[in-house]
Amino acid sequence: MLRIKEAREKTGITQKELSVKLNITREYLSALENGHYNPSIALLKKIAQELNTSLTALFIENQDKPRGA
């Protein structure tokens, strides 16, 4: 699962604020964060840019959790 929500919360930006910057609906952003849809690579790049993180960081699992937990 993508780590969009974690990255967004880390920056302190709301779903509404990020959705406006990305030119998508807040509902669509919520669906992305909850794994209901897979965004395009282009959208993922825009998300990473707006959240000041790398594209790779949006895919990396939480290092604190053991696998399978």
- What homologous superfamily does CATH list for 4-54? lambda repressor-like DNA-binding domains (1.10.260.40)
pLDDT digits (tens, 9 = 90+) for 5-58: 999 999 999 999 999 999 999 999 999 999 999 999 999 999 999 999 999 999
Q: How far apart are CA 47 and CA 67, in angstroms?
A: 26
pLDDT at 23: 98
Percent of the chain beyond pLDDT 90? 83
pLDDT at 60: 75
pLDDT at 32: 97
Residue 45 CB contacts under 8 Å (≥ 6 apart), including other chains: 55
Q: What is the pTM of this model?
A: 0.84
